[in-house]
Structure 1
Amino acid sequence: MHMDQTTEAIAHFIGLFSQAVEEARLRLDYSDFKALPDAPLEQNDLLNIKINIVSPYSLDGFKPRVDYTPPPIDRFDAQVSVAIRYDPIPLYNEGQGAPAATIWGAETPPLMAGGEAFAEYQPLGSLALYLKQQARLEDNDYLSIGDHGLHFSSVGDTDAALIALIKAASPFQPFGDLHEPGSAAEIGDFILHAPHIADAFIDALDGNDGVFVMRGESIEGKFLNGEEVDELPALDTYLPEKFSEEEEAGDAETDFSTHATMDVEAGANLLVNEAILVNDWYGAPVLAIAGDYVHFNAISQLNLWSDNDTTSEALNGWKSLTEAPTQAFNTATIQTIDNPPPPGLENANGEPVFPEHWQVSRIDGDLMLANWIKQVSFVEDNDITVMSASGGGTEIVLGNNTVINATSLAALGNYYDLIIVGGNVYHANIICQTNILLDDDLVGTVGDFQTGGSASLSTGGNLLWNEASITQYGTMSFDTMPPSYLEALEKLGDGPGTAPQSLLSGSDFAGLTTIKVLYISGDVVDLQYVSQINVLGDADQVALAKSQSSAHADASWDVSTGSNALINQASIVDGGVNSTTYTGGAVYSDELLIQAELISDDTNLYTQGADALVSEAVAFLSDDLMASPEGDADQNAPDPSTPDGGTADVMQTMLG
């Protein structure tokens, strides 16, 4: 339609305006659309679906042993194809050419070799560990505190007294100080000689009091200080209170008063030897030994101590902190735990299956298993101190040392169905434990020392503890060697071969698909040895003097020179299963238990009373002190040139 110029301009303007409006609307819609992805999604309500699960399986009770029978994958059929190129020697006939060579290849039937291949288990071989743990500590302190102006010299020879106790203990520990064998032959000789050592020890006793000895082919039970008991005591019950957790948790409230208190700790030493041996290197339900079987178990425990204290008569009215005197315990456990092997397989008729072949691992030579552990703790804490009360609270710690030797070893190896030994088997478990304590304390007073405050004194309360156990898993029964095992022994001695049918069809291996065999051409030597020794010299000498000033006449005193703990703990565990042992030679079994407690009546350390000894050992540092007890600081100060009688390490290496 033709429009005039004005109408056309107006229509064109309306069209442009309409497009602009539409574009604006689109931009607004686009902005809303753009904002939608950034908006958080609304969470719908969770679905509440109930699921009922029905399972045909039920959980059994706890089983400490998991029985596992491996699948019969040790055997597989093998077909070996061999193609051989064969060139026969050419034959020439006169008038004929040379014949062509004949080749045997894919076109001709190959040479077939059918048979069975077996996977082999490699034996672990021998194992030997020789471990020595030794801790030595000298903490011989000398301390002079207070304005007493005195010097206190050592009384007696503490080293000689401790050496005398060590020498006295030596005859009562037959297996404590032995040289370690270094080869399989030496270990075998050591085990064979051990019963003779026991014979010589028993013959030399001559009815000595305090020594308990039990010996026989087999010992079973729990023993405490020479008596068989149903239950053994716990260490925590008899541990001195200074080492108990209850005392650490319940600390006393701090006293901020100006009242003079003197807390002196010259003992509280802790010596610990701990060893755990687990021998699970090899085992089998059936053993065949061409030679002899020798078994020896021994636990030897000794506690030797001297606690002859000498105290001044002026301290007779003081309260005793430790009601219990020095105590010694020897606890031992020897036990065999029944451990039957897992049941065998049966066929569809409920009859046991029998193996069709054996699988052999060889050791040409001896199998040596040796764990030799020796732990020694030697501590000297012979403190010398002279003191008088001073203002406020004074806490003096001269002892409180801790020495620990600890080891834990587990030898984990392989188990077999049959072990065949071409030589002899020597097996021994030996535990030796020794505690030696010298706690002869001297506590005396100088002059007319006395106090008006509370006073307590403890010179005993020591603990000597030996704890040992030998545990065998699996019982053993012995019988003579059957002909089938002799045949197997001869075959393996000549080299690899097939298993005798009489062995495979025997009742010992009913239920097995394959016999896993370990063959040892030589001897088996198995020695587990633990020796633990604690030696503590804690002969403290304390002199209490009156202060030159009378300001602290009502001071409170708390003096402790004992409360030491010497602890030995050892355990040997022999892994295995119930087994039948066939031998071609003799069977020897010997078990020995020694528990000894010896108390020294007199070490000749103190030959006089406390007052007389202290009077002789104490000297004034200045001659003018008697004439001028109220002297100045220069008169009361110790003379640097005067020897103190102690070691250079005065206060636990504080001078270093």
Structure 2
Amino acid sequence: MLPDRTSQTIAHFIGYFDSVIEEARLRIQQSEGRVLGEKAAPPAELQALAPDFATDFSLRSFIPDVPYRAPPFDLYGGGSHFHHAPIGLGFGWQRPVSFDPDMPRHMLPGRPAADVEQQLHIFAGPGSIQAQIFQVNVLYDDDYLDLTDQPHERIDMSFVAGRLSDYADAGAAYGERTTFDRPQDHASLDAMAKGYGTLGEALGQEDRPPIHADAHSEFVATGDGAKGIHVNGELREEMPVLKDLLPDRGLAAPPAEEAEDAEQATAGAHGPAVDSIVVDAGANVVANIAAVTNVGIIAPVMSVMGDYHQVDVISQAYVYSDVDHDGRFPAGDAAFHAGSATQAFNIAAIKDMAFALGGGGEEGGDAPPVFPTDWVVSRIDGDVCFMEWIEQYNFVTDNDQLVITTRGSEISILSGGNTALNVSTFFGMSMQYDLVIVGGNVIDMNVINQLAVLYDNDWLVGSGAGASGVSFDGGGNLIWNQASITNVGSGNFQEMPGYMSDVVAAIDERDPNMPAGLAGDAAFQGQHVLSVLYITGNVYQLNYVNQVSILGDADHVSQLAANMLAETEDASVTIRTGNNAVINIAEIVDYDSFGGTTYLGGGLYTDAILIQGGIIEQDDTHPQTVGTKLANEVIAFLDDTPDHPGTSGDGVIDAGHDYSWNTAMPSDAMQTVIA
């Protein structure tokens, strides 16, 4: 505390000037150092500096606090008696204030004017929410291993890229009319809704041609026929479990217990020598995983003045070739095994689920029902869009060439075991209201497109391939497309009540009085204050997931038998080139409303579309030795216009023309440093 008022006055002004200096610095920073081109005009003369300036204020000593007491007056009496209240302002500038007792009541301080009409205060509603996620994995892991001390010719595996391109084009036929580029405006969303409506009508015709003439399996359903759980076109009660069907990855699998393995390795180090070779050239995992939960605007009751469009679309396709050539069998007898133990699944689930609101307790036995008496209104002028757009792509090649032979020791070779994984989750939730009024239309779309491609043709060749003790397994692959769409709170549509037009008019006119029809609606019983959101335009809700996984695992193994293999009974060679997994998993949970009441003034258009297709190829291409000419298939895969270098056309996947990711090259030239 300062000892006297003079010191307090000085300290007060020092603090004031410090504030002025900081304000000046702030202005300099806001102006970013810019200087006015013209000289600023001088400030006007202060009135206090004029010679004839006079004031009736009296200067008093400094008073640190600012006491204030409102003048009392009679609210309901005939007269008002005012008292002069001391008012301290800074240094005590004070002017006597007097009031006329005969002043009109609507002019009294603190009382609103009687002729001022009260209006409804409108709050700003939430804005649009748009999330766009784009994920890409590109991996080239083409390994070469030679355990001998003799040179061998390299094998050209570049044709695999051309086969993957052809397979991707064949599988894209199932998603040709369900896949769109990312919309840039609301007109694009309208075009998508119209396109899905036309597609549903076309697929619902019984005499329509098949989507792909060479498909191994194909299933198309619309409307209620698409609801439920479908596995490769068959209606099931439950979904299969991925964990139960994952292939054994062999050397690529993580050890169950590292301590136990370490003890076994230590014990075996002092035992007899083991002559064995274990090769895992496959065991790759390529996966896209996406989960979208869209709550949007939480409201138990929605009123749509226009039309309501709701469509759920799932398109799934897989294409694979698994033809394993085993040199142990003579040509023309059992020279190859087509489709050996490869499992492929298209799993789709489209379902509706009601959302039950928890009860807030029952009223007393004879207590009258409670209805809202007041409302709080928010407004959005124009359209509102809630969009979650996810695109995931995997392109992996693992074409290995191995030249192996027994070496009199235990050898483990892992040339595969790659993992490419895209994971994306989104949870969107806006604000909560009791009633949402949409002046236009509602367009609600949930779309999942999935494509899985696998090329796993393997070759076991070389002298001694038919010797005993050689185990060759090129199958055990898994292709898994799983998609799920769940609509929560949809299905309870009712006719638009007549009072809703009065509600819109009251909001437009800013009438503070809630319409009687809204206050008496049974849907709002038990509430005292009603929270209302009014959207003058359309509401767009789009959840879109596009997943593409492509894996090429064509392995060429040359097994050269030595005398050790023929003379040693315990010698063994185990070669595994399969056990790959190509996985797409997507889930959309769309909360349409909480409580399940939607008043509709226009038409209702709902549809569900399910497309499942599977194509099995039996490619008989045999790899050749590397020549001096670059394979044409490589150029065709990277760019379909090789005559115009520098131009980038569409490769295997069209990702919205955002990135030419399909022309990317691996950053590791040796494929050993970071592979």
Equivalence for 1:223: 230
CA contact (8 A) 1:493 1:521 kept: no
SS of the residue corresponding to residue 486 of structure 1 reads: helix
**Structure 1 match to 2:392:** 375
1:477 correspondence with 2:492: yes
Q: Which residue of 2 aligns with 1:442?
A: 459
Contact 1:451 1:556 in 2 (8 A): no
| Paired residue type of 2:128 | S
Aligned: 1:365 with 2:370: no
- The aligned runs of 1:590-601 (5 Å cut-off) are 590-601=607-618
| CA distance in structure 2 between the aligned counterparts of 1:396 and 1:121, rounded to whole angstroms | 67
* Compared CA separation, residues 431 and 268, structure 1 to 2 (3 A): same
Paired residue type of 2:185: S
Q: Report what 2:648 is aligned to.
A: none
Matches within 5 A, 1:288-303: 288-303=303-318
Deviation at 1:156, TM superposition (A): 7.3
Is residue 143–residue 650 contact of structure 1 (8 Å, CA) maintained in 2? Answer: no
Q: Secondary structure at the match of 1:187?
A: helix
TM-score normalised by structure 1 residue count: 0.72
For these two proteins, the number of residue pairs brought into alignment is 524
Aligned match of 1:267: 282
Match of 1:205 in 2: 210
Distance 1:280 1:212, change over 3 A: same
Matches of 2:674 and 2:540 in 1, distance apart? 52
- Report the Cα distance in structure 2 between the residues aligned to 1:251 and 1:531, rounded to whole angstroms: 42
Distance 1:389 1:246, change over 3 A: closer
Between the aligned partners of 1:237 and 1:309, the Cα distance in structure 2 is: 25
Q: What one-letter code is carried by the residue in structure 2 that aligns with 1:326?
A: T
- Does the CA contact (< 8 Å) of 2:124 and 2:380 recur in 1? no
**Partner of residue 573, structure 1:** 589
User: Could you tell me whether the CA contact under 8 Å between 1:151 and 1:386 is conserved in 2?
Assistant: no
2:193 to 191, 194, 208: 191
- In the TM superposition, 1:112-261 aligns within 5 A as 112-113=111-112, 122-154=124-156, 157-174=159-176, 177-199=179-201, 203-205=208-210, 210-216=217-223, 219-242=226-249, 248-249=256-257, 253-254=264-265, 255-256=268-269, 257-261=272-276
Q: CA deviation at 1:285?
A: 2.1
User: Deviations 1:322-378 (Å, cap 9, x if unpaired)?
Assistant: x98110112222222222234467467243211112211111111110000011111
Of 521, 531, 534, which residue of structure 1 is paired with 2:546?
Answer: 531
Question: Are 2:533 and 1:514 equivalent residues in the alignment?
Answer: no
Letter of the structure 2 residue corresponding to residue 572 of structure 1 = I
Residue 343 of structure 2 aligns with which residue? 327
Structural mapping, 1:56-71, within 5 Å: none
Larger Rg: 1
Equivalent position to 2:302, from 270, 287, 304: 287
State the match for 2:642 in structure 1: none
Alpha carbons 2:406, 2:564 under 8 Å: kept? no
Unaligned runs of 5+ in 2: 1-72, 81-96, 628-665
> What secondary structure sits across from 2:446 in the alignment?
strand
How many angstroms apart in 2 are the aligned matches of 1:220 and 1:283? 25
Paired residues of 1:241 and 1:247 also in contact (CA < 8 A): no
- Aligned counterparts of 1:563 and 1:359: Cα–Cα separation in 2: 61
Q: 1:592, CA displacement in angstroms? A: 1.1
Contact 1:142 1:651 in 2 (8 A): no
The structure 1 residue matched to 2:420, chosen from 403, 408, 420, is 403
| 1:259 Cα offset (Å) | 3.0
Equivalence for 1:422: 439
* Mapped contact 1:176–1:531 kept (Cα < 8 A): no
Deviations 1:366-411 (Å, cap 9, x if unpaired)? 1110000011111011111222222311222111100110011111
1:280 maps to a residue whose letter is: V
In terms of mean alpha carbon deviation, does 201-210 or 458-467 score higher?
Answer: 201-210
- CA shift, 1:649, in A, is 6.2
The structure-2 alpha-carbon separation of the partners of 1:408 and 1:119, relative to structure 1 and needing over 3 Å to count, comes to farther
The question of whether the paired residues in 1 share the 8 Å contact of 2:303 and 2:598 is answered with: yes
1:34-66 alpha-carbon deviations (Å, 9 max, x no partner): xxxxxxxxxxxxxxxxxxxxxxxxxxxxxxxxx
Q: Which amino acid aligns with 2:384?
A: L
Q: Does 1:557 align with 2:573?
A: yes
Q: Distance in 2 between matches of 1:394 and 1:246?
A: 18
Closer/same/farther in 2, CA of residues 217 and 421 from structure 1, 3 Å limit:
farther
1:605 to 621, 645, 669: 621
Contact 2:289 2:584 (8 Å CA) reproduced? yes
1:463 and 2:478 correspond? yes
Q: Which is worse superposed, 113-122 or 577-586? A: 113-122
Contact kept in structure 2, 1:431 and 1:531, CA below 8 Å? yes
Whole-angstrom distance in 2 between the partners of 1:649 and 1:246? 25
Aligned-pair distance for 1:499? 2.1
Give the aligned partner of residue 61 of structure 1.
none
Shift of 1:463: 0.4
With the length of structure 2 as denominator, give the TM-score of the two structures.
0.70
Q: Is the 8 A contact 2:128 2:384 kept in 1?
A: yes
Deviates more, 1:231-240 or 1:351-360: 351-360
Find out whether 1:356 has 2:373 as its counterpart.
yes
Shift of 1:275: 0.8
Q: Tell me which of 492, 498, 501 is aligned to 2:513.
A: 498
Instruction: After TM superposition, give the deviation of residue 239 of structure 1 in Å.
Output: 0.3
For the residue of structure 1 that corresponds to 2:499, the secondary structure is helix
* Deviation, structure 1 residue 472: 2.0
Could you tell me whether the CA contact under 8 Å between 1:310 and 1:443 is conserved in 2? yes
Write the letter of the residue equivalent to 1:205.
P
d(CA) in 2 for partners of 1:424 and 1:126? 16
Q: CA deviation at 1:204?
A: 4.8
Letter of the aligned partner of 2:134 in structure 1?
K
In 1, Cα distance between equivalents of 2:310 and 2:440? 15
The offset of 1:476, in angstroms, is 2.7
Q: Alignment partner of 2:170: what SS?
A: helix
Q: How does 1:66-105 map to 2 (within 5 A)?
A: 104=100
1:102, distance to aligned residue in structure 2 (A): 10
Change beyond 3 A, Cα 1:514–1:388: same
| Residue aligned with 2:309, SS | strand
- CA 1:276–1:80 in 2, change beyond 3 Å: closer, same or farther? farther
Task: Kindly provide the amino acid, as one letter, of the partner of residue 506 in structure 2.
Answer: K
* Counterparts of 1:469 and 1:211, CA distance in 2: 19
Distance 1:293 1:118 in 2: 29
Distance change (3 Å), C-alpha of 1:389 and 1:315: farther
Question: Counterpart of 1:151 in 2: which secondary structure?
Answer: coil
Measured against aligned partners, the alpha-carbon deviations of 1:429-456 in whole angstroms (never above 9, x if no partner) come to: 111111100001111123x55545x321
Instruction: Determine helix, strand or coil for the equivalent of 1:461.
Output: coil
Counterpart of 1:225 in structure 2: which amino acid? N
Which stretches in structure 1 are left out of the alignment for 5+ residues? 1-78, 85-100, 607-612, 619-646
